[in-house]
C-alpha cells in the first residue's frame, strides 16, 4: 500500500515536471549592460533609442525561434546585432583601455553538451561573438586571446576590421582625448535562450570597463563568471564590475544554486546580486532563464538595459517586455 503511494507520488511529480516543461515554446532574454540610468531615463529621445535597439534585438531572436530555430543561432544573431550598434559597449561603440585602445571580449556556451567558446582582448575581429562561436565549434579549445585570437578569426573567414579605431565612435574619441577624466559607458551585451527543443544557450560580448588596464580580462569571456549554460539548470549572462563577478563565479554560481539547492532562478539571482555582490560593492546584474522558461533579470545598480520575449505553448501571442530603470514596459 505504502509502496503504491510512493509510486503514485513519483508519477505525479514527474508528470508535473513534464507539464511545467511544456508550458513555454521558447524564451529569449537580452541585456545591454547595467549601471546608473537615472539621467538617461529623463532624456526621452536618448532612452527611446535604447528601447528601439532592445526591441530590434528581441525581434531578431524571435524570428529565428518562431521557426523552430536553434537558441545557439538566436544568441549569435542577437549579440552580433548589438555588436554593430554603437549604443552598446560591445563591438563598435565599445569602451577603451587606459591607453585608448579597444580590446574586446566575448563568450558563448550551450547547455546541451556544455560546449563553450571565448575570445579575450581581440582588436581586429569585427564580431567577437562569432569568433567565440568558432572557437566552440571549430577547435578543441575553449578560449583564445589577443593577437592569436584575431589571427584565428581571420583564418576562419570571419569579418575583420583594418584598424582598431574602427570600434571608436565620436563619443569614445572624446573620452580618448580626455582619458584622465572620469567617464563610464554601460552596455555590455548578453542574450540567453531556451529554444523549442528545450536547449539552453548563453552569450556575452563587451569592450570591458572604461580605462581598464591594457591586457585586463573581465568576467564576460570567462565561462562560469560572465556566461554559463547547462540544460540541467539555466543559462546566464552577466554585466557589471567584472572583477567581482569573477570572484563570485556568478553565472556558474547561479546554475549550481538552481540545480543543487533547488532554489528558483529568481531566488538564486537575487541572492547572488543583492547579498553576495552588494556586500562587496560589486555593481551589476544578470539575465537568466531556466529549463522551464522561468526568467530572472536582477540588478543592484539603478538600471539595466534588458528585455525578454516568451512564447507560451498553445497561445499565439508573444509576451514582450523591455526596461531600462526599475520598471518593465
Ligand atoms: N562585466 C564587464 C567587464 O567587467 C563590464 C560590464 O559589464 O559593464 O568587463
Tell me which residue has its CA closest to atom 5 in ligand 1: 208
Its sign, for the CA torsion 307, 49, 127, 325, is negative
Q: CA 114 to CA 228: how far, in whole Å?
A: 9
Active site residue 188: yes
Q: Does ligand 1 come within 6 angstroms of the Cβ of 283?
A: no
**pLDDT exceeds cutoff 50 at 15:** no
Question: Do the bridges between strand 143-145 and strand 116-122 make them parallel or antiparallel, or are there none, so unpaired?
Answer: parallel
Mean pLDDT of the 21-30 span? 86
Q: Please give the helix or strand (H or E) that residue 246 lies within, else none.
A: helix 242-247
Mean pLDDT of the 84-112 span? 96
Q: Which residue from 217, 192, 187 is spatially nearest to 203, judged by alpha carbons?
A: 192
C-alpha cell at 10: 513519483
Q: CA 110 to CA 108: how far, in whole Å?
A: 7
- Report the number of secondary-structure helices (H) and strands (E) in the chain: 11, 12
Q: What are phi and psi of 322, to 5 degrees?
A: -135, 145
Crossing angle of helices 71-83 and 44-66, rounded to 10°: 150
Task: Compute, in angstroms, the gap from residue 240 CA to the centroid of ligand 1.
Answer: 5
C-alpha cell at 139: 577547435
pLDDT digits 0-9 by tens, 241-275: 999 999 999 999 999 999 999 999 999 999 999 99
* Most ligand 1 atoms within 8 A of CB, residue of 209, 216, 248, 277 to mutate: 209
pLDDT digits 0-9 by tens, 165-218: 999 998 888 877 776 666 666 789 999 999 999 999 999 999 999 889 999 999
Task: Compute, in angstroms, the gap from residue 228 CA to the centroid of ligand 1.
Answer: 15
Predicted pLDDT of residue 172: 81
Q: CA 91 to CA 37: how far, in whole Å?
A: 21
3-state secondary structure of 235: strand
What domains are defined for the chain?
Answer: 2-91+186-323 (3.60.20.30)
Cβ-Cβ contacts under 8 Å for 299 (sequence gap 6 or more)? 34, 240, 273, 284, 285, 286, 306
**In ligand 1, which atom is closest to the CA atom of 226?**
1
Instruction: Tell me how long the chain is.
Output: 329
Q: Does ligand 1 come within 6 angstroms of the Cβ of 219?
A: yes
Amino acid at each position: 500500500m505504502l509502496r503504491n503511494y510512493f509510486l503514485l507520488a513519483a508519477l505525479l511529480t514527474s508528470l508535473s515536471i513534464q507539464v511545467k516543461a511544456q508550458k513555454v515554446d521558447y524564451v529569449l532574454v537580452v541585456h545591454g549592460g547595467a549601471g546608473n540610468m537615472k539621467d538617461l531615463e529623463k532624456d526621452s529621445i536618448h532612452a527611446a533609442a535604447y528601447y528601439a535597439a532592445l526591441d530590434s534585438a528581441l525581434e531578431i531572436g524571435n524570428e529565428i525561434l518562431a521557426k523552430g530555430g536553434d537558441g545557439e543561432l538566436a544568441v549569435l544573431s542577437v549579440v552580433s546585432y548589438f555588436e554593430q550598434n554603437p549604443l552598446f559597449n560591445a563591438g563598435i561603440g565599445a569602451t577603451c583601455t587606459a591607453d585608448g585602445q579597444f580590446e574586446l571580449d566575448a563568450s558563448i556556451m550551450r547547455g546541451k553538451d556544455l560546449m563553450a567558446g571565448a575570445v579575450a582582448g581581440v582588436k581586429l575581429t569585427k564580431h567577437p561573438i562569432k569568433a567565440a562561436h568558432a572557437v566552440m565549434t571549430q577547435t578543441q579549445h575553449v578560449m583564445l586571446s589577443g593577437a592569436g585570437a584575431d589571427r584565428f578569426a581571420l583564418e576562419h573567414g570571419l569579418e575583420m576590421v583594418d584598424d582598431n579605431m574602427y570600434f571608436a565612435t565620436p563619443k569614445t574619441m572624446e573620452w580618448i582625448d580626455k582619458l584622465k577624466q572620469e567617464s563610464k559607458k554601460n552596455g555590455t551585451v548578453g542574450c540567453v535562450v531556451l529554444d523549442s527543443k528545450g536547449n539552453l544557450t548563453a552569450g556575452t560580448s563587451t569592450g570591458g570597463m572604461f580605462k581598464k588596464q591594457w591586457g585586463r580580462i573581465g568576467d564576460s569571456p570567462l565561462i562560469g563568471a560572465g556566461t554559463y549554460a547547462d540544460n540541467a539548470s539555466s543559462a546566464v549572462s552577466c554585466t557589471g564590475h567584472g572583477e567581482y563577478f569573477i570572484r563570485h563565479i556568478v553565472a556558474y554560481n547561479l546554475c549550481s544554486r538552481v540545480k543543487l539547492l533547488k532554489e528558483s532562478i529568481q531566488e538564486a539571482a537575487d541572492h547572488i546580486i543583492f547579498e553576495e555582490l552588494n556586500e562587496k560593492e560589486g555593481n551589476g546584474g544578470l539575465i537568466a532563464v531556466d529549463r522551464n522558461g522561468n526568467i530572472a533579470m536582477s540588478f543592484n545598480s539603478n538600471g539595466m538595459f534588458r528585455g525578454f520575449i516568451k512564447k507560451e505553448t498553445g497561445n499565439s501571442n508573444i509576451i514582450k517586455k523591455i526596461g531600462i530603470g526599475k520598471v518593465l514596459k
